[in-house]
Structure 1
Amino acid sequence: MRKWILLSAIAISCLSCVKSGGVIPNVAVNFQAATTDPRFSALNVPGGAVLVNGYGVAGLILYREADGSYAAYDRCSTVDPSKLCAVTLDAGNFTVTDPCSGGKWALSSGNPVKAPAVTSLKAYSIEVSNFEIFVSN
């Protein structure tokens, strides 16, 4: 009986080591840019989105909401974060797609809208003040 309990405990412990899926590693993010920079002009209108490389796990997506607020997400797909697949903007800038899996997310919320995506994109804090964009975690 003891051996059975011990074997069960080991099996459960090994199964819990299986990839949990969707967990993007925590990395320090401190991004700052001028809103007047032409590379960020898409953010001047609601629905505009910009990709920024070199920050976060796989880059950043900055998005201007319909109500004028902003959102910032990591580009790393949550389908299989170990692959470090960077999502790409779809036509119209309202969704992004993981080129490795085909998963899709809405930029308005970061929530998945097409399988195999089941976990939201990793969101970061974003503030726009005095013609400056600040993204951090």
Structure 2
Amino acid sequence: MKRFLTAILLSLVCFSCGKTDSSYVPNVAVNFSAPLTDPRLSKLTASGGAVLISGYGVCGLVLYRSASAGYVAYDRCSSYEPEKRCAVTLDSPTLTVTDPCSGGKFSLEDGSPVKAPATRSLKSYSVTVRGGEIAVQN
């Protein structure tokens, strides 16, 4: 009986190892910087402006100029079924983004979900503005 219980316990430990939780956007290194005069960032001159930047994060970045929080940055990878790597798209007006795969929506003010099936906020990154340059890092 002792051997049986030991075998069950050992198999549970072995089979639980190595599993990853695919319900979260993965952590990847992000190191984006550009002058605020960069033409790609022209829509960030006023509150409510947003731009998409490719090549960073999991699916790219969304940079947003918030009326209350300054500049914020999110990964474009939807937090709803992130294993599908579905990149959110900007809505008009640019107060929200939409996951085109599920129809879920997220607020750009804080990244929170505003329409089902989304239930988790977008992955956010740290933003600093210094000397006329914006930098996004994790």
Provide the TM-score with structure 1 as the length reference. Answer: 0.86
Q: What corresponds to 1:50 in structure 2?
A: 51
Decide whether the 8 Å contact of 1:46 with 1:68 is kept in 2: no
Specify every segment of 5 or more residues in structure 2 that has no aligned partner in the other structure, as ranges. none
The Cα shift of 1:39 comes to 1.4
The Cα shift of 1:131 comes to 1.1
Cα distance between partner residues in 2 of 1:27 and 1:110: 18
Q: What corresponds to 1:85 in structure 2?
A: 86
Cα distance between partner residues in 1 of 2:72 and 2:105: 17
The Cα shift of 1:129 comes to 1.5
The number of residue pairs the alignment matches comes to 133
* Matching residue's letter, 1:53: S
Cα distance between partner residues in 2 of 1:136 and 1:68: 17
Cα distance between partner residues in 2 of 1:51 and 1:76: 12
- Summarize deviations over 1:103-127 as a string: whole Å, max 9, x none: 1100001000011100100000001
User: Which has the higher mean CA deviation after the structures are superposed, 46-55 or 66-75?
Assistant: 66-75
Q: List structure 1 segments (4+ residues) > 6 angstroms apart after TM superposition.
A: 1-4
The Cα shift of 1:37 comes to 1.1
Decide whether the 8 Å contact of 2:22 with 2:82 is kept in 1: no
Instruction: Determine if the alignment matches structure 1 residue 110 to structure 2 residue 111.
Output: yes
Q: Secondary structure at the match of 1:31?
A: strand
- Summarize deviations over 1:14-62 as a string: whole Å, max 9, x none: 7xx58552x1111100000110012101111000001000000000000
Provide the TM-score with structure 2 as the length reference. Answer: 0.85
User: 1:1-137 counterparts in 2 under 5 A?
Assistant: 6=8, 10=12, 21=23, 23-67=24-68, 69-137=70-138
Cα distance between partner residues in 1 of 2:74 and 2:125: 6
Alignment RMSD (CA, Å): 2.3
Specify every segment of 5 or more residues in structure 1 that has no aligned partner in the other structure, as ranges. none
Q: Secondary structure at the match of 2:43?
A: helix
* Matching residue's letter, 1:59: G
